[in-house]
Structure 1
Amino acid sequence: MKNDTDNLTREAYKKHIKDSHNKHINKEDKQKVEYTNSGLKRKLNWTIFLLIIGIIIVYLVLFFFNP
């Protein structure tokens, strides 16, 4: 079974290796960004939820203990 790199010149082989390495690095970077975004999304959702709960609590306190 022949590889794609069997008939390449030395320069073409180096370019092929460099390109495949860059593709691998780019894929890892995208995965890191997706992981970071998912963590930020979760934190933002919790923050919004807690702010809504806080607004409801303040509204109830002001409604029942009208100064």
Structure 2
Amino acid sequence: MAFLYYKIKTPTLCFDEVGVFALFDRYLSFIMFVVILLVWVYILNHKVRPEVERFISSNRRR
């Protein structure tokens, strides 16, 4: 992550680009968090749901 930030924030940028990248830098961590959360929920739904439903149904039978 730090390497990405270093690559983006090169000292040769002019002021307009610095403003754009400052905004991008501010929201990048939030965007990454949202993407990781969505992927995690997707994986949970597709891999864990059958096991959870099996577990719940086996508990209901008892």
Q: TM-score, normalised by structure 2?
A: 0.47
Between structure 1 and structure 2, the one with the greater Rg is 1
Q: TM-score, normalised by structure 1?
A: 0.45
Higher helix share: 2
